[in-house]
Chain A
Amino acid sequence: MRIQLTVNGERHEADVEPRLLLVHLLRDVFRLTGTHIGCDTTHCGACTVLLEDRPVKSCTVFAVQADGKRLMTVEGLEQDGRLHPIQEGFVQEHGLQCGYCTPGMMMTSYAFLKRVPMPSEDDIRHAISGNLCRCTGYVNIVKAVQHAAARLQEGGA
């Protein structure tokens, strides 16, 4: 099937099998490998991307379901050479170690902060509970999201 979609503001077209998963379209066809795969059961969230601004786990979305839609991946966070505050937050607060869950974690946080700009710690912990991290113990991820929230309040992006 021929599909067309926008990824990080760029138009893409592809001819795909109906069963192709969105995560494989992004990674194997478009070569946007920042979106990772960590499980087969929609639990780990390493593959989280934004579909029409809403976080989805792209391992359980078919590529054809994104036809005609707008996608954003980790590669779309940095704009004109400027890091997004969520990216800065992860660096400043040591919110990542191996980096594998990080793109999904950042995409979930990005969408969450659009919805809840001034979250409590508890809000953040629930918001990222669909994304598993095996390295950090989450404490510094929470701080990274708080860092980003504060920066965004100041008008950082």
Chain B
Amino acid sequence: MVPRTSPEVGGMGHSVKRKEDARFIRGKGTYVDDIQLPGMLYLDIVRSPLAHARIKKIDASKALAIPGVLAVITGADLAKYNLHWMPTLMSDTQMVLPVEKVMYQAQEVAAVLATDRYIAADGADAVEVEYEPLPVVVDPIKALAPDAPVLRTDKKDKKDNHIWHWEWGDRAATDRAFAAADVTVKQDIYLPRIHVASIETCGCVAHFDKVADKLTVWMTTQAPHAIRTVFALVAGHVGLAEHKIRIISPDIGGGFGGKVPVYPGYVIAVAASVLTGKPVKWVEDRMENLQADSFARDYHMTCELAARKDGTLTALRIKTIADHGYADAAANPSKFPAGLFHICTGSYDFQAAHVEVDGVYTNKPPGGIAYRCSFRVTEAVHAIERMADLMAHHLGMDPAEFRLKNFVRPEQFPYRSALGWEYDSGNYAAALRKAMDRIGYAALRREQAERRERGELMGIGISSFTEIVGAGPSKHFDILGLKMFDSAEIRVHPTGKVIARFGTRSQGQGHETTYAQIIAEELGIPVADIQVEEGDTDTAPYGLGTYASRSTPVAGAAGAMAARKIRDKARKIAAYLLEAAEDDLVWEPGKFSVKGAPNRFKTIQDIAFAAYTNHPQGMEAGLEAVSYYDPPNLTYPFGSYICVVDIDKGTGQVKVRRFVAVDDCGNIINPMIVEGQIHGGLTMGLAPALYEEIAYDENGNIQGGSFMDYLLPTAVETPRWETDKTTTPSPHHPLGAKGVGESATVGAPAAIANAVVDALWHLGVRHVDIPITPAKVWALLREKGVSE
């Protein structure tokens, strides 16, 4: 797309350097832990060493004897205010602090309030808790066995560990298609539990000002407005009303979904500040972050595909056991318990599909979903893309040819999928062909054949994913009934300079720059003259926050709509100033001119000044607008990724030699930022594919609870990503944009897994669950009789 504005204005299509960088490169950002208030107290948390146990006794006497320790807060203390349990987004409940038993290792047991962070930690060490161990349930399949211990004894009449059953699609039609199929394939696929591990952990500074009767919380949250409403609803009975709560989400050191939920630490810090009238800081350390915060995935899927013998796909069936931990606290605002999992027909035209998911309780931390992915899309993409490869190989077809044969075709859009989603736009074959050209697909296949002759293990993997983002249309989404619009408020001041506020919150995505570019595009006001603010509930318009790649599709659209309202008013003022009819005015970015008389014009800056000094009689002064945008549909970004791997037969190590990513996210606002999002997303796709997993032993002890054994990729393991794009605008978004933050995380793991299986197929390997560690591959090679 050729930019419509000059580089100085910096509208859509310009790689404008980021406004936010000025503070970050100087170490002048303000993250939560940077905030230090006079008289501030520190909170540290006592956590359970056991995964399931009755609490017999909490003895705080030794902790309280330490000078500087002011209080030890337990579940019993919170129970006095009915704050020991809190609701989850999924209409379940979770503990703030326990009164009876703990349900997972590292669960919060008590909190210590002290004058200093070191003393608080000393206090936490000194609290003595006596536990009576209970039987631990780690495996969600065993959790469903009739003799499994029932975990949620707090729920009256709960007789098992089954949370919910959900199914979607046409079961009968799917069964018929499978019965009629020439070929079917079936595979169990496990997507393990992983953690976002943003480099900044979670925390807050809660400050209840007794005189002003106002609570201010600086908090690592991706959704400040929704959090404020939740606080008001949960703590209204102790006097916290919504207008007396101010949530400030300052600079956020990475979110990726991990900063959407309300964690017990926040609630305890708020309670401690309200009770003491002093500011209270709580910041978790890395081990607390990995061991107790929201996780993602943990999906045990059984997938089946049906096809004709010519390779035409006909039906898809997936049954899933979803391990939610001890509570269903998934940050999933969709109306579907398994989120958007039913995007699992992916980029392919199926006759019929049916999915079933069963949610299960286990002795693990609650959560689900959060890992740079909008509500189970990664699970869906992994299932369909692994299965597509399995079917192609099974039929002896090239996986690329197989995909090209089965893609939804461009003329079928808007396309209604077998599971009911209405895809807005796409050209899947164009993206795959571009990726094949870019990587030299045919030559790679020849090279692979040659290497295989020599006994070398080389694989090529493809993933042609379809994303579903921009939550969301109110017919599909809500948070506690709140519709999932987002908002923008734009104020153009007399000298033509702008302050714009949004209901979202950037965590590194560059909103201060991107949103300014949207306004620059619509009003022709230079990006340098536009200041974007977010994250303060006292000043920003109400919005639902940043996650699920929703900022550009929803708040970005709101920005464009608000700017267009301003332009409508500007047209009236320009007509008045130019003594011309509104219809006779022509807009080009930055000015209105009279049709046929281009020298008669008024710039947007002239008009802004007139809006406060010389506006038409009967018109209100000022030049500002607000928009709350409820998207008519979701957006469906897509792409095709191709990955080449080499496998070391001696060590089992998988090395990603090349990785080409062709993305289509519709019209692009800032190409530099979009490319950066894709680089980051690809790396968060590589990570679970090869390195990251949070596992538990049979006693519920976490494996992978620190950076010692939860392996984030470094610069050495991360390939030099090669990116490219196609552009298929969204027909319903005001800017034709679709969102991009999560595409690569969603699409990349399957490409890598497919490449590994492709390298090993001739040995009889049909599937490898991620993370594909050297140990796993080494064992497979030995099993197949391969040695160095």
Question: For the complex, is A71 an interface residue (Cβ under 8 Å from B)?
Answer: no
Residues of A within 8 A of B34 (CB): 27, 33
Q: Does the CB pair B679–A140 fall under 8 Å?
A: yes
Q: Does the CB pair B508–A99 fall under 8 Å?
A: yes
Complex-state Cα separation, A27 to B27, whole angstroms: 11
Q: Does the CB pair A39–B706 fall under 8 Å?
A: yes
For A94, give its contact among B256, B673, B683 (CB under 8 Å).
B673
Complex-state Cα separation, A129 to B718, whole angstroms: 10
Question: For the complex, is A154 an interface residue (Cβ under 8 Å from B)?
Answer: no
Q: Does the CB pair A98–B198 fall under 8 Å?
A: yes
Complex-state Cα separation, A75 to B198, whole angstroms: 23
Complex-state Cα separation, A103 to B22, whole angstroms: 12
A127-143 to B contact mask, C-beta < 8 Å, 1/0: 01111111111111110
Question: For the complex, is A116 an interface residue (Cβ under 8 Å from B)?
Answer: no
Q: Does the CB pair B21–A98 fall under 8 Å?
A: no
Would you give the shortest CB distance from A85 to chain B, in whole angstroms?
11
Complex-state Cα separation, A98 to B34, whole angstroms: 15
Residues of B within 8 A of A17 (CB): 118
Of all chain B residues, the one with the shortest Cβ separation from A86 is B25
Q: Does the CB pair A36–B253 fall under 8 Å?
A: yes
Question: For the complex, is A20 an interface residue (Cβ under 8 Å from B)?
Answer: yes
For A135, give its contact among B27, B254, B287, B718 (CB under 8 Å).
B254
Q: Does the CB pair A99–B253 fall under 8 Å?
A: yes
Question: For the complex, is B724 an interface residue (Cβ under 8 Å from A)?
Answer: no
Question: For the complex, is A58 an interface residue (Cβ under 8 Å from B)?
Answer: no
Q: Does the CB pair B680–A78 fall under 8 Å?
A: no
Residues of A within 8 A of B17 (CB): 91-92, 94
Q: Does the CB pair A134–B706 fall under 8 Å?
A: no
Residues of A within 8 A of B721 (CB): 137, 139
Residues of A within 8 A of B36 (CB): 28, 31
For B720, give its contact among A43, A97, A100, A139 (CB under 8 Å).
A139
Q: Does the CB pair B679–A136 fall under 8 Å?
A: yes
Q: Does the CB pair B708–A43 fall under 8 Å?
A: yes
Question: For the complex, is A7 an interface residue (Cβ under 8 Å from B)?
Answer: no
Question: For the complex, is B187 an interface residue (Cβ under 8 Å from A)?
Answer: no
Q: Does the CB pair B286–A41 fall under 8 Å?
A: yes
Interface of B is mostly: loop
Residues of A within 8 A of B718 (CB): 125, 137-139
Segment among B224-232, B458-466, B642-650, B709-717 that sits at the interface with chain A: B709-717
B9-53 to A contact mask, C-beta < 8 Å, 1/0: 000000001101111111111110110100000000000000000
Interface size of A in residues (CB-CB distance below 8 Å): 59
Q: Does the CB pair B715–A135 fall under 8 Å?
A: no
Of all chain B residues, the one with the shortest Cβ separation from A91 is B21
Supposing A33-B34, A136-B679 touch, asked if A100 and B25 sit within 8 A by C-beta, the answer is no
Q: Which of B661-712 contact A (CB under 8 A)?
A: 672-673, 675-676, 679-684, 706-708, 712
Residues of A within 8 A of B21 (CB): 90-91, 96, 99
For B676, give its contact among A94, A102, A103, A106 (CB under 8 Å).
A94
Would you give the shortest CB distance from B517 to chain A, in whole angstroms?
14
Residues of B within 8 A of A11 (CB): none
Q: Does the CB pair B676–A136 fall under 8 Å?
A: yes
Complex-state Cα separation, A129 to B31, whole angstroms: 24
Complex-state Cα separation, A106 to B201, whole angstroms: 20
Would you give the shortest CB distance from A52 to chain B, in whole angstroms?
20
Interface size of B in residues (CB-CB distance below 8 Å): 57
Complex-state Cα separation, A133 to B17, whole angstroms: 20
Of all chain B residues, the one with the shortest Cβ separation from A89 is B25
Complex-state Cα separation, A94 to B253, whole angstroms: 16
Residues of B within 8 A of A20 (CB): 118
For A133, give its contact among B199, B286, B509 (CB under 8 Å).
B199
Q: Does the CB pair B679–A87 fall under 8 Å?
A: no
Question: For the complex, is A149 an interface residue (Cβ under 8 Å from B)?
Answer: no
Question: For the complex, is B197 an interface residue (Cβ under 8 Å from A)?
Answer: yes
Question: For the complex, is B496 an interface residue (Cβ under 8 Å from A)?
Answer: no
Q: Does the CB pair A136–B680 fall under 8 Å?
A: yes
Q: Does the CB pair B706–A75 fall under 8 Å?
A: no
Complex-state Cα separation, A83 to B25, whole angstroms: 9
For B25, give its contact among A35, A40, A102, A142 (CB under 8 Å).
A102
Q: Does the CB pair A99–B672 fall under 8 Å?
A: no
Question: For the complex, is B507 an interface residue (Cβ under 8 Å from A)?
Answer: yes
Question: For the complex, is A117 an interface residue (Cβ under 8 Å from B)?
Answer: no
Q: Which of A60-89 contact B (CB under 8 A)?
A: 73-75, 77-78, 83, 87
Q: Does the CB pair B18–A94 fall under 8 Å?
A: yes
Q: Does the CB pair A126–B508 fall under 8 Å?
A: no
Q: Does the CB pair B286–A40 fall under 8 Å?
A: yes
Q: Which of B253-283 contact A (CB under 8 A)?
A: 253-254, 256
Of all chain A residues, the one with the shortest Cβ separation from B30 is A33
Supposing A91-B25, A128-B715 touch, asked if A99 and B251 sit within 8 A by C-beta, the answer is yes
Question: For the complex, is A46 an interface residue (Cβ under 8 Å from B)?
Answer: yes
Q: Does the CB pair B679–A139 fall under 8 Å?
A: yes
Question: For the complex, is B200 an interface residue (Cβ under 8 Å from A)?
Answer: yes
For B199, give its contact among A28, A46, A78, A141 (CB under 8 Å).
A46
Supposing A40-B286, A98-B254 touch, asked if A134 and B679 sit within 8 A by C-beta, the answer is no
Residues of A within 8 A of B118 (CB): 17, 19-20
Of all chain B residues, the one with the shortest Cβ separation from A122 is B716
Residues of B within 8 A of A28 (CB): 36, 117
Question: For the complex, is A119 an interface residue (Cβ under 8 Å from B)?
Answer: no
Complex-state Cα separation, A44 to B672, whole angstroms: 26
Q: Does the CB pair A98–B508 fall under 8 Å?
A: yes
Q: Does the CB pair A73–B680 fall under 8 Å?
A: no
Name which of A96, A98, A102 has the most chain B CB atoms within 10 A of its CB: A98
Of all chain B residues, the one with the shortest Cβ separation from A106 is B25
Question: For the complex, is B252 an interface residue (Cβ under 8 Å from A)?
Answer: yes
For B714, give its contact among A37, A94, A132 (CB under 8 Å).
A132
Would you give the shortest CB distance from B15 to chain A, in whole angstroms?
8
Would you give the shortest CB distance from A68 to chain B, in whole angstroms?
23
Question: For the complex, is B149 an interface residue (Cβ under 8 Å from A)?
Answer: no
Question: For the complex, is B285 an interface residue (Cβ under 8 Å from A)?
Answer: yes
Question: For the complex, is B87 an interface residue (Cβ under 8 Å from A)?
Answer: no
Q: Which of B488-514 contact A (CB under 8 A)?
A: 507-510
Complex-state Cα separation, A102 to B197, whole angstroms: 16
Of all chain A residues, the one with the shortest Cβ separation from B683 is A137
Q: Does the CB pair A34–B287 fall under 8 Å?
A: no
Supposing A35-B27, A106-B25, A136-B679 touch, asked if A97 and B286 sit within 8 A by C-beta, the answer is no
Question: For the complex, is A32 an interface residue (Cβ under 8 Å from B)?
Answer: yes
Of all chain A residues, the one with the shortest Cβ separation from B711 is A43
Name which of A77, A94, A97, A106 has the most chain B CB atoms within 10 A of its CB: A97
Q: Does the CB pair B26–A87 fall under 8 Å?
A: yes
A17-31 to B contact mask, C-beta < 8 Å, 1/0: 101100010011001
Q: Does the CB pair B25–A96 fall under 8 Å?
A: yes
Name which of B18, B251, B680, B706 has the most chain A CB atoms within 10 A of its CB: B680
Q: What are the 7 closest A-B residue pairs judged by CB atoms, nearest first?
A: A34-B27, A100-B253, A98-B508, A99-B24, A137-B679, A97-B508, A74-B27
What are 9 contact pairs spanning A and B, CB under 8 A? A27-B34, A37-B33, A38-B201, A77-B25, A91-B17, A98-B254, A100-B508, A106-B25, A132-B707
Given contacts A38-B200, A136-B680, 15 further A-B contacts (CB under 8 A): A37-B33, A43-B708, A83-B25, A87-B26, A94-B17, A94-B672, A97-B680, A98-B508, A100-B199, A133-B715, A134-B196, A136-B679, A137-B683, A138-B714, A139-B721
